[in-house]
Chain A
Amino acid sequence: MSGTPARSMALPAAVAVGVLVAWAGLASRLPEVLLPGPISVAHAVVDRWELLGRSALSTAGSAGLGLLIGSAVGLGLGVGFLWSRALELAVYPYALLLQTLPVVAVAPLLVVWLGYGAPVAVASAALVSFFPMLTAAHVGLLGVDPEQVELFRLYGASRLQELRWLRAPSALPAVFAGLRTAAGLSVIGAIVGEFVGSNGEPPSLGYLVLRSARSADTALTFAAVIAAACLAGVVYWAARTAEARLIGPWHPGQGGGRA
């Protein structure tokens, strides 16, 4: 990380204070049903803590499981593309199409196939996190110094050995960049899935957003949105921490490369 720890805390904190002040100022001019102020949102967070917590946990579970499935499929396919040009040619266009699939449009189908609630959210999170992971794996695994590949081949390394000792380690920075993107997206994906495919059992953040908006409980809507943002932050932080632990010491992308 660049800068001192104090600076890396102070800068975001200053932005947070600025946003809160601007928010409170704007909210005081608008009716509460359009924009609740920070204090009424804080009240909603405190009063509805249990519901928010249960909902956030359920969404976190769906996002995490979706991210896991999407990443596994994305990485697996990335390796498949590396080993088989025919597979790449045959499947890559459809992987691209899958990326543009609007979950909202297929939600009723997902409900019929998988059932209400978490399964739709997991599927939706997997759909959105799959593509960044596939692209990252694809780019990372192919982007190896050709001379190193030649050296491995010269020593008669198997395809698996080449993957394990050369391509996978050198793909890690790209894969983690993909994971950071996919992690944030998986939370959005889960919430969209819950928004269109949930029946409130169990409650989730997407359901809370829908439900509270319909009963004009805007403070709770904002509380749910803030919980979603925190969740995305936690997931991102987890991905970032794993990245720093695994490749931080040797990869310049961790901040050491900044002049």
Chain B
Amino acid sequence: MTFSERFSTMWAPVLFSLAAVGCSGAPAPGPSAGQPIRLALNWLPEPEFGGFYEGVLGGHYERAGFAVEIIPGGPGAPTLELLASGQAEVAISAGDDLLVKRSRGVQALGVWAAFQNTPMGLMVHAESPVLRIEDVPAGAEIAIEVGGPFQTFLWARQGWEGKVKALPAAGSVGPFLADPARIQQAYITSEPCVARGKGAEVRFLGAGEVGWNPYGTLVAVADPAPAWTDDFVAATQAAWEAYMADPARANAEIARKNPELSAEILSCVTEAQRPFLVGEDGLGALRPERFDAMASTLSSLGLLPPGATGAAAMRPRGAAQP
């Protein structure tokens, strides 16, 4: 047997089967007829996106003439980049992220937001003396996304530089559960419910209370806004209202897509996120002043050029088509 014969008889079956496995991802179910919308989530399927799933399952999008395909995201999901490169028509983002990416040339507009108050904050154990973020004492350690905008903001505004130590967040509540003095960055839609599920009593300190309050689960479309934007926003509003009235159907779909979420965590998150969804302005609203305020905060942190404004990053509901 020559070398090449030996090589092909030994390796070809292995390589072919590996190649076959690599290419065998199951195709997503195709959307029905209508304006096709690929909606890119910025995290895995979770209740923070419940209304979008309800929009598909409850027919809200279909009745408004949309065939929506939801594309789950993951860590660092580049949703606005997917939008900019034409691989998504709708990107889920956050107020701060949208402003920063726009300053880098991504042409996107915020048109609707599920979270009126940011779901981000800090989590402490219930017996901790820290009742507000301002109470965090000198010498404390916080597990947080080091170098992220929230960390930069906290250390600058609270005067924590050199006093409070930022530890890289390991993406797990394990170290938090093991240490009663531990403070950790958290999303109301995730860590507090996971910690409670493991038997811990925790307190969530929302970032909005210390002035870091970008819109969350922000719906962004291309700038200038496509003609279908208002219809899509109206359908999204109806879908989210339906989800908040009865989350069962969408949550069942989320549990199917993300089997790591237990029924217990799902229902905990669905309740915990409720007050963050409906702020002073009601579900879905966007206010230009808040984008301006966020832009000036980001400017003061050096994350946007000096004097940046934010109102142009959003489109008021029902604005005339450009």
Binding site for B on A (CB under 8 A): 30-31, 33-34, 51, 57-58, 60-62, 64-65, 68, 107-109, 111-112, 115-118, 122, 168-169, 195-202, 207, 210-218, 220, 238, 242, 245-246
Question: Which of A68, A214, A218, A242 has its CB near the most chain B CB atoms (within 10 A)?
Answer: A214
Known interface pairs A31-B177, A62-B22; A68-B15 also in contact (CB < 8 Å): yes
In contact, A61 and B174 (Cβ under 8 angstroms) = no
A58 to B178, Cβ gap below 8 A?
A: no
A33 and B19 form a contact (CB under 8 A): no
Supposing A57-B21, A196-B76, A201-B72 touch, asked if A216 and B26 sit within 8 A by C-beta, the answer is no
Interface residues of B in 56-108 (CB under 8 A from A): 71-78, 81-82, 85, 87
CB distance from A66 to the nearest CB of B (A): 8
Provide the bound-state CA to CA distance between A200 and B178, in Å.
28
Cβ–Cβ < 8 Å partners of A220 in chain B:
260
Which of B14, B18, B194 has a CB less than 8 Å from the CB of A215? B194
B3, B24, B75, B76 — which one has the most chain A CB atoms within 10 A of its CB?
A: B75
In this complex, the member of B25, B195, B198 whose beta carbon has the largest number of chain A beta carbons within 10 angstroms is B25
The answer to whether the Cβ of B258 comes within 8 Å of any Cβ in the partner chain is: yes
- How far apart are the CA atoms of A111 and B77 in the complex, in Å? 8
Contact of A216 with B71 in the complex, beta carbons under 8 Å: no
**Inter-chain contacts of B75 with A (CB < 8 A):** 195-196, 210
Q: Note all chain A residues with C-beta closer than 8 A to B175.
A: 34
A104 to B72 alpha-carbon distance, docked (Å) = 19
Is there contact, CB below 8 Å, between B71 and A116? yes
Report the stretch among B5-13, B116-124, B243-251 that lies at the interface: B5-13
Interface status of B163 (Cβ within 8 A of chain A): no
Are the CB atoms of B85 and A112 closer together than 8 Å?
yes
Is the C-beta of B210 less than 8 angstroms from some C-beta in chain A?
no
C-alpha spacing A216/B175, complex, angstroms: 10
Contact call A200/B18, Cβ cutoff below 8 A = no
Q: Report the minimum CB–CB distance from A108 to chain B (whole Å).
A: 4
B22 contacts A108, CB within 8 Å? no
Q: Within 8 Å of chain A (Cβ to Cβ): is B44?
A: yes
